């Protein structure tokens, strides 16, 4: 669990919103993006979670948790552009996560073009009209 605090008045710090829950084990690292709108949390459950904290009184998770395949807690750092998140578990590996959705979509579409044919679409999504997310091949 992560708790955000309003420390505008250090003599009277108060909780801002509800606790951020989702990790199944202790949270061991936190980092804010440069713009202060995104918080990354790393836990002993081998996951990293992103939170939209633009409104600290109504912070919400961003997407699903990420698993960097680490067995221990994570060390986290955003790039200055906030499009990349570096994750290390204290082992000999650092994983870089690209957080730019448009880049991710272009990469997925470039590597999977032509995979979702009309036949496959109707096999797996029979109730939906054919509308592949990356256009037609």
- The burial class, CB within 10 Å (0-12 / 13-18 / 19+), for 84 is middle
pLDDT digit string, tens, across residues 49-108: 999 999 999 999 998 888 866 555 578 999 998 889 998 876 777 888 888 878 877 887
pLDDT digit string, tens, across residues 3-26: 999 999 988 999 999 999 999 999
| CA-atom Rg of the chain in angstroms | 19
End-to-end CA distance of the chain: 45
Query: What pLDDT was estimated at residue 114?
Result: 75
DSSP state at residue 26: -
Please state the length of the chain. Answer: 137
Nearest to 74 by CA among 107, 35, 40, 101: 40
Q: Which two tokens stand for residue 120?
A: 């496959």
Place of tokens 């960097």: 68
């Amino acid at each position: 669990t992560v708790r955000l605090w309003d420390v505008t008045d250090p003599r009277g710090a108060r909780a801002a919103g509800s606790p951020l829950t989702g990790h199944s084990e202790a949270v061991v690292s936190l980092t804010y993006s440069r713009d202060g709108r995104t918080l990354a949390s790393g836990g002993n459950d081998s996951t990293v979670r992103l939170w939209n904290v633009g409104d600290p009184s109504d912070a919400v998770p961003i997407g699903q948790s990420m698993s960097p395949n680490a067995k221990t807690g994570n060390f986290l750092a955003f790039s200055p552009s906030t499009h990349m998140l570096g994750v290390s578990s204290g082992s000999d590996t650092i994983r870089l996560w690209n957080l730019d959705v448009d880049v991710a979509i272009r990469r997925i579409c470039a590597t999977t073009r032509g995979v979702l044919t009309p036949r496959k679409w109707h096999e797996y999504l029979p109730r939906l009209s054919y509308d592949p997310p990356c256009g037609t091949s």
